[in-house]
Amino acid sequence: MKTEPITTLLFDFDGTLLDTNELIIQTFLSVLGKRYPGRFTREDALHFIGPSLKQTFDSIDETLTEELILEYRAFNMEMHDQMAVEFDGVTETLRILKARGIKMAIVSTKRQDVIQQGLKLMGIEGIFEIVIALDDVTNPKPDPEPILLALKRLGSSKEESLMIGDNSHDIEGGQNAGVRTAGVAWSAKGETFLATFNPDYMLQHVSELLEIVDGYHS
């Protein structure tokens, strides 16, 4: 069976293109530390990276979810530009991919305004044709809805598309949507953890995408 070349790249954002891991960890520790002193550790906060805020806070106390989300967003937005930084080679690689005519989209569990803030910080507002955020869908990753929506808006098929991310939600979401998947070795949860979800690729550096789309070997 012939495997189609990859012409479309779908990226998670936080933890994949923009290193917001420390920002996220510190936000969770600040918000939860006020409410539950001493209960949550840095290791706990690592497990909160990836799921939507609602999913995370529902697992702690559903009656406080909305309040905790508001507190989280306030702290996170205030500290965002001070603590977030792009991963090595991201901007350069994305610009090359764009110049080669690769179709690209963001598919994230973050809100649209937070993603746009990150894109602006990185200076890549015009790179992505489509940005699918939490507020664009009913069911976030690992549900296939956001990935399928991105493909529909891009006019791309599942067979020519690759979902790239740093978390299990990205890999499982891609698999549920029927696209190929790539984990990133710089995931805060570690390459070994991500490998257990069997992505088609494991990127050691973002520039490896240039080889994947340029001379794909099945």
**Tens-digit pLDDT profile for residues 136-183:** 999 999 999 999 999 999 999 999 999 999 999 999 999 999 999 999
* Mean pLDDT value across residues 73-88: 93
35's tokens: 């409410």
A 10 A CB-CB count for 123 gives 11
Query: What pLDDT shows up at residue 60?
Result: 95
What are the beta bridge partners of residue 138? none
Note whether 4 and 160 are within 8 A (CB): yes
pTM recorded for the entire structure: 0.89
pLDDT at 215: 61
* Distances from the Cα of 200 to the Cα of 74, 162, 172, angstroms: 37, 9, 11
What percent of the chain is modeled with pLDDT above 90?
89
Taking residues 87-103, report their average pLDDT. Answer: 95
87 DSSP 8-state letter: P
Taking the C-alpha atoms of residue 86 and residue 19, their distance in angstroms, rounded to an integer, is: 5
Q: What is the pLDDT of residue 31?
A: 96
Q: Are 93 and 206 in contact (CB under 8 A)?
A: yes
Give the chain's mean pLDDT. Answer: 93
What is the model's pLDDT at position 52?
A: 86
Is 12 assigned a catalytic role?
Answer: yes
